[in-house]
Chains A and B, each alone.
Chain A
Amino acid sequence: MDPIISIRNLYKSYGSKEVLKGINLDIYPGQVIGYIGPNGAGKSTTVKILCGLLSDFEGEVTIKGMDIRKDTLKIKGLIGYVPELAELYDVLTPTEFLNFMGALYNMKPEVTAERMERILTALGLQSNLNKRMDTFSKGMKQKVLIASGLLHNPEIIILDEPLSGLDANSVIIIKELISRLAKEGKTIFYCSHMMDIVEKVSEKIVLIDQGVIVANGSFAELKAQLGESSLEQMFANLTVGSTNASAAGDIMSAMHTQSGEQHE
């Protein structure tokens, strides 16, 4: 089987700062990829490149055999992207916003309307369909974004920290949804800091640090390779070494400082 996403020797730098230093990655249809790494590791840059937002990179990125720099529009149509921050026009209502999203994908308004209503009802937003989103909580906005990423039934779904702000029940729904989507053959690219969820939902885990892939494999493989019992522990070992424990110690000792400028 051919990979649906193929990344070869991907380099990207902003000015003199190199963010990605030779990423090589193959992703197959129906896979759930957990893409993890510390802040500034290059996760968002990879996502932006996959979404066709950045084109000034070196190397080769193909999706379904198409070059992302040449068939950008076609590829954008295949991808559903749920951005990290609640990036939406929050003076609109969910109905207006999602109708707009549907129109950008050239979907029929009736189809958009029906899908939107059913998705948002499933996520518990049915009573807020026509309220402006500036009053919404972070979790509610996140649900609208998730709906906007799924609306056009994309083949590849890129989720950037999709669970932030969601309540426990919604987290369960989304986790279940991810595995159902994968069973249907959708490819899911899941970026997150939440190790326990990545560990559970991902078929394959890719860990990047400072622009380089430092681990790549299923959870079981990584466990065998690295000899750690949890993803959290592997992450810590691979990215910062053992300084986490001493950082906690530093904070504790800082809290007990007596000298210096204290008022009464």
Chain B
Amino acid sequence: MNKQINRFLLWCFLLPAGIYRRFGADMAQLRAILETKLIIDDRTATGLNKVRNQNKEGDTSTATLFTMLISLLMGLVFLVAFVFDDDLTRMTMYFSFFSFMLAMFLITDFSHILIDVKDNFIILPKPVSSQTFLVARLLHIIIHVTKILVPLALPGLIAIGISRGIWGAVVFIPVMLLLTMLTFAIVNALYLLIMRLFSPARINAIITSVQIIFSIILYGSFQLLPRAINRSVLEGVDLSQLPAMWAFPTYWLAGAWVYLYSFVQDPRLIVSMVLSVITPLLAIWVMMKYLAPAFFRKLSMISAGVDHEKKEETDKKEVSASTGGFISMLSGLMTSSGVERQSFLITWNLMGRIRDFKLKVYPQIGYLLVIFVMFILGVVVSWITSRHWR
């Protein structure tokens, strides 16, 4: 099925061939690059899939399908936001969930598209123009985002359609697109910032941590959010009049939806509408204008190998810092003979440094934590409600 999805998406996105040609892209090469990249995506475990594949060695060919399924489930969980009666509150909550999840997906899934150094050795020595290469990379990112976006937004769209009619669903679409643009720009800015501050090796370490945290949050929200539906306390909550809500861009977008849906000439809604349109466009413009050139310079530097030395230096620093002091003291206390001591040190260091180990073990510990919190929460809630009744 993933092949059909790929073929369909590719067909859709290659339709405006004339535009791409005007940009200077070679259509045959563009198609070849995208086809290959989509096959690679399907077979590469990234982000969530990396955690999923912990027990399964060997081939994956449905990595994207799995991601799409997860985002569909996540999209269903977002419907929790519909317990709020007030439109503004409900949409703010829904958009916040949505944009947070999308950002997480992007962060964990993006590194292999953005920082793919292999392309420099495989595609660039071939007679491929930089325009073709750029269009291919952009389209690849857009297709990738679409695959997450559509299943993530679908349950919300249907729910709106049922509760607010066709018009509600129709205006929901452009608002979602604006939200996606905004999230995309923010994630990109974050990436660019990280790339400026850290070496590629550190970036990988940071992304690993985010992946671990993400999988724990995902698990936690699967557990927690559906249970929240029954909490009658939430139903009456109305956040729409709080001035602090203006700090959240998702509040503006919620206002935009309400405005488009109802056309009530409320100044608050109109301001929201204007902000919702301007901010994403502004963010994308700033990204393209100021951040992207620096980013591409950095990328070409990584590929040219300039960063090697810098990287090695920082690696050395890290190593000497972690083997010194505390751990050697600990190993002295815990172990007696030389072999024992060395085994302890090696195990300790491997635990901290092997990416696969971290991705396999730390989320499991996180899941336990989530279950523990759920348990405590359950006890507290039942205690409160029992007192309430008395």
Contact = CB atoms under 8 A, between A and B. Distances in A.
Interface of A: 14-15, 44, 48, 51-54, 73-74, 76-77, 79, 81, 83, 85, 87-89, 91-92, 96, 100-101, 103-106, 132, 263-264
B32 interface: yes
Contacts of B129: 73
B111 interface: no
Contacts of B208: none
Contacts of B118: 87-89
A209 B39 CA distance: 43
B338 A104 contact: no
Given A74-B127, A88-B122, A92-B36, 17 more contacts: A14-B304, A14-B305, A53-B124, A54-B304, A76-B126, A76-B127, A79-B125, A83-B121, A87-B118, A89-B122, A91-B40, A100-B35, A103-B28, A103-B29, A106-B29, A263-B337, A263-B339
A87 B122 contact: yes
B338 A264 contact: yes
B127 A104 contact: yes
6 contacts: A44-B305, A53-B124, A83-B125, A87-B122, A89-B122, A263-B339
Interface of B: 26, 28-29, 31-33, 35-36, 39-40, 43-44, 59, 118, 120-129, 303-306, 337-339
Contacts of A104: 29, 32-33, 123, 126-128
Contacts of A53: 120, 124-125, 303
Contacts of A73: 127-129
A113 to B, nearest CB: 14
A73 B28 CA distance: 15
A15 B306 contact: yes
Contacts of A92: 36, 39-40, 43
Contacts of B32: 100, 103-104
Contacts of B39: 91-92, 96
For the residues of A in contact with B, the DSSP-based class is loop
Contacts of B123: 104
A96 B304 contact: no
Closest 5 CB pairs of A and B: A103-B32, A263-B338, A87-B121, A91-B43, A104-B126
A73 B40 CA distance: 26
B121 A89 contact: no
Contacts of A263: 337-339
A32 B124 CA distance: 24
Q: Which of A14, A44, A132 has the most CB of B within 10 A?
A: A14
A105 B303 CA distance: 22
Q: Which of B59, B304, B339 has the most CB of A within 10 A?
A: B304
A105 B122 contact: no
A148 to B, nearest CB: 9
Nearest to A44: B305
A86 B304 CA distance: 17
Contacts of B122: 87-89
Contact of A91 (B44, B125, B305): B44
B297 to A, nearest CB: 11
A231 to B, nearest CB: 27
Nearest to A84: B121
Nearest to B41: A91
Contacts of B28: 103, 106
A26 B121 CA distance: 25
A223 B125 CA distance: 36
B307 to A, nearest CB: 10
A89 B40 contact: yes
A232 B356 CA distance: 42
A77 B304 contact: no
Contacts of B337: 263
A163 B39 CA distance: 29
A52 B125 CA distance: 7
A51 B122 CA distance: 11
B59 A132 contact: yes
B120 to A, nearest CB: 7
Contacts of B125: 51-53, 76, 79, 81, 83
Contacts of B120: 53
B127 A77 contact: yes
B310 to A, nearest CB: 10
Nearest to B43: A91
Contact of A105 (B33, B43, B127): B127
B36 A89 contact: yes
A96 B36 contact: yes
Contacts of A54: 304
Q: Which of B26, B36, B303, B339 has the most CB of A within 10 A?
A: B36
Contacts of A106: 26, 28-29, 127
Contacts of B40: 89, 91-92
A14 B306 contact: yes
Contacts of B121: 83, 85, 87
A260 B40 CA distance: 52
